Every structure is written in C-alpha cells, then in structure tokens.
Amino acid sequence: MSAPDRRHGIGVARDALRLALEDGLSESELPPGFAAAGLLHDVGKVRSRLGTFGRVLATVLAIGFGRSRACRWQGRFGSEVAKYLAHDRIGAELLEASGSDQFTVRWAREHHLPAEAWQLDRVIASYLKEADGD
C-alpha cells in the first residue's frame, strides 16, 4: 500500500478502537480482525495505478454518475478507474486469499455499502465507518 494509504489505515484502526472503547466496549468484546479491518479495508487500492489526481477524478465521477456507470468507462484510464472503484471487492478477495479473519474480509467488502446492507454487526461496523470518515 502507498504511504498515505498506510497512514489512513492506521488512523482508521486507531480511531475505531478509541470509539469502541469510549462507547463502553472492552477490546475482548471486539471481533477478531477488528483492528485489521481498520488497517486493511482499502487494501484493494494496491491493484489500481491511479495517482492522487486520478483518484480524486474517479471519486468525483462515481459521485456524479454512480459507481457502476463510472466502472463501465473504457480505455486504460477507465480500467484504472474501475479497479480503483472496485477496491472494496478486490480487497476482500485479497484478504480472503491470504487467510484473514472473516470480519476483516467482510468489512473490506462492505465498507462502501450503506449501513442497511451491512452483514456485520452494525454497532461494531459503525465505529469503523465513523473512523473512516467517508
């Protein structure tokens, strides 16, 4: 992962843990893979070669036109945009293949879904979502 993505992951893991503890949970009440979910939720971005400008453009396209339409763009830039926007699915596949905890795999897959679509415990996942800040 790039240095900014690693810093982001560390910040999310740290803040999510803090939010859970402030809410009265103990570390032993958190599922295995909780901290790793914060650290690695965006790991699928390693498959995209977009730089900062490309990432911003991909995000704006996804917001403006919808993720699925932005993913259908053709050409080299289009395929990098598609890979970037699919980082949730790609990351979940990488984590699954490397034997990560199921919580870590599922959060990578679900972290851009609306809360209503989460399969994970919503309270626990909400700490990660709030810490992610997007």
Burial group, residue 60, by CB count within 10 angstroms (0-12, 13-18, 19+): exposed
Selected range binding Fe ion among 28-36, 42-50, 53-61, 101-109, rule: CB under 5 A: 42-50
Selected range binding Fe ion among 24-32, 41-49, 55-63, 74-82, rule: CB under 5 A: 41-49
Shortest gap between Cβ of 38 and Fe ion (angstroms)?
9
132 scored as a contact of Fe ion (CB under 5 A): yes
**Toward Fe ion, which CB reaches closer, 30 or 39?**
39
Question: How many CB atoms are located within 10 Å of the residue 66 CB?
Answer: 11
**Toward Fe ion, which CB reaches closer, 20 or 111?**
111
User: Helices (DSSP H) in the chain: which residue ranges?
Assistant: 3-22, 34-40, 52-65, 67-71, 75-85, 87-97, 102-110, 122-132
Shortest gap between Cβ of 24 and Fe ion (angstroms)?
25
Residue count of the chain: 134
110 scored as a contact of Fe ion (CB under 5 A): no
Selected range binding Fe ion among 25-33, 37-45, 102-110, 115-123, rule: CB under 5 A: 37-45
**Toward Fe ion, which CB reaches closer, 20 or 128?**
128
80 scored as a contact of Fe ion (CB under 5 A): no
Residues with Cβ within 8 Å of 42's Cβ and at least 6 positions away in sequence, in order, are 1, 5, 8, 9, 87, 91, 108, 111
Interacting residue ranges for Fe ion, rule: CB under 5 A: 42, 132
